[in-house]
Amino acid sequence: MRWRTDSHIFEWYIFVLPSIHLSRSSRGKNPCVSFTKKVKVGQSLKTQNNSGLSILIVEDIEETRDGIDKLLTSDGYRTEAARSEQDAVEKARRNSPDLILVSLGAPPSDVIAAARNIRERAGLRENVPVVVFCIEEIGEGDEVAIGQNTFITRPDNFNQLRNLLAHLLQKIPAAA
């Protein structure tokens, strides 16, 4: 996913914790997996009854946090935003989200550690997906730190993020 801000282009990498397995990218450097969820071009994911599903957005940059929030609320998700790991722990304890997006301006290993800390300290269910955005590619040492319970993908646009979220949340019944 490319994100343009102030003439900078950031490439985002998504790590999903927990998941099923790791596979290698075509370049052989980074683990990755891809999947397809068919959505008609121009079809809003809002039609998929996302209204009861909640997503906690953990992002330290206000503009990015607001952009992700607008994207997800336009698709019908209930969202809550947190500015830091501690803020996320408190909000996750209070509201038990269905999914957590973590995007902090730190090296990948630190962001992954923050995501794990949020899950553990908030006492979340094991099946709550945690999606981690990183600006940098992960290195060989980070691959080991992630372990075998991670999907990693590199979306080209927000539609891929939408599809990923829909895929991860499709088995969670919407709240009544």
95 within a domain of the structure (yes/no): yes
Q: Give the per-residue pLDDT at 83.
A: 94
Residue 117 identity (one-letter amino acid) = N
The three-state (H, E, C) secondary structure of 94-154, written as one string: HHCCCEEEEECCCCHHHHHHHHHHHHHHHCCCCCCCEEEEECCCCCHHHHHHHCCCCEEEC
Q: Give the per-residue pLDDT at 85.
A: 92
Residue 63 identity (one-letter amino acid) = E
* Domains in the chain, number: 1
What tens digit of pLDDT does each residue of 151-170 get? 444 455 667 677 777 777 77
Cut 0.95: pTM above it: no
58 within a domain of the structure (yes/no): yes
Going by pLDDT thresholds of 50, 70 and 90, the confidence category of residue 49 is low
Q: Is the dihedral of CA 84, 12, 61, 64 positive or negative?
A: negative
Q: Give the per-residue pLDDT at 115.
A: 83
Going by pLDDT thresholds of 50, 70 and 90, the confidence category of residue 139 is low
Does position 90 have pLDDT exceeding 60, yes or no? yes
42 within a domain of the structure (yes/no): no
User: Which residue range is the domain that position 119 belongs to?
Assistant: 2-34+48-169
39 within a domain of the structure (yes/no): no
CB crowding 27-39: b at 16 or more within 10 Å, else e: eeebbbbeeeeee
40 within a domain of the structure (yes/no): no
Q: Give the per-residue pLDDT at 155.
A: 52
Does position 79 have pLDDT exceeding 80, yes or no? yes
175 within a domain of the structure (yes/no): no
CB 52 within 8 A of CB 95: no
161 within a domain of the structure (yes/no): yes
87 within a domain of the structure (yes/no): yes
CB 114 within 8 A of CB 107: no
Task: Give the CATH number, domain containing residue 106.
Answer: 3.40.50.2300
Compare 114 and 36 and report the one with higher pLDDT. 114
3-state class (DSSP) for residue 28: coil
